Structure 1
């Protein structure tokens, strides 16, 4: 049931991933789920760049080098994490948004559509037993130096994915009644 799957979805971080590849067909299935997200005016603004193999390590090196370049006081622990997260993942998907060239709707609606696409990916991963995590480091503003981004395209973060061992701790939420106002 979809409600159970929604409640089961968790952030699973790269440190929890095991050394097991995610095959291309599985990644394609996850991306196909993204493609069915709602999209106002059918702009379908989501764009994805899938990194596997050596490209994951290249991303980690780029991020750590860029961090050292732009931060006056770089921390060794963060440098290592920027390199580790991509390399320890089964795959990394750069989450990008292609702005409607006509700007026929507000940018926030395009970002919301991409976010819904990522939620579809996250739910698909949960169903397939793949851990995933959306990271949006400040360094994403430099991703046009790593990727060949089209005009109007921007990177919104990275979707780290990997198989993991063990059980996930159930999450808790405050009751919805504390977040809803009924107006009659």
Structure 2
């Protein structure tokens, strides 16, 4: 066998959402981030459109991103629904992360339906996430409604033919995370043999 299937199974089963509040704020080497993105780039893609695009937010840009997210929360949240905890979280999540990878997608309207390119981009994120897990890094894909805002588009410097599908918060963590649970695959599969 070319690969140790048990190791692959273990990697997949241990992939978890690890949230920024669990991050240690230690930096992640550029070489590691590059490898995550290289592996993301090997996602399956119909017609080889490779629609995924990434914007890596590091350093001081994390604080700017946090300020923008907090401002957008204030701007878009009715007074009666305002939560100080959520407001502070919007500002602190980027600052606590070693890096944030904006998950973006370039549309090829003339070639493929949008859902196929969203699916391909999600596959790229899974590759990235599994690689992060293999490195012992935590990650969390967040897709707040503000990803479509002009403020976020301007911050990410997105061209007109690209959209943002969310933010992948990335960081080192030291705490243990609980073992994941899934319902049995038998509940989700039908076999047609005859």
TM-score tier after normalising by the smaller chain length: over 0.9
- TM-score normalised over the length of structure 1: 0.96
Correspondence 1:66-85 to 2 at 5 A: 66-73=72-79, 74-85=82-93
SS, match of residue 131 in structure 1 = strand
Aligned to 1:29: 35
Aligned to 1:111: 118
Which among 125, 141, 145 is matched to residue 154 of structure 2?
145
Correspondence 1:29-178 to 2 at 5 A: 29-73=35-79, 74-100=82-108, 102-142=109-149, 143-178=152-187
Question: What are the ranges of 5 or more consecutive residues in structure 2 without an aligned counterpart?
Answer: 1-6
Aligned to 1:181: 190
CA contact (8 A) 2:22 2:175 kept: no
Q: CA deviation at 1:3?
A: 1.4
- TM-score normalised over the length of structure 2: 0.91
Alpha-carbon RMSD: 1.0
Q: Which moved more, 1:82-91 or 1:142-151?
A: 142-151
Q: Which moved more, 1:162-171 or 1:67-76?
A: 67-76
> How many aligned positions are there?
183
Q: Which moved more, 1:73-82 or 1:53-62?
A: 73-82
* Residues 26-68 of structure 1: CA deviation (Å, up to 9, x unaligned): 1001000100000000000000000111101100100110111
Runs ≥4 in structure 1, deviation > 6 angstroms?
none
Question: What are the ranges of 5 or more consecutive residues in structure 1 without an aligned counterpart?
Answer: none
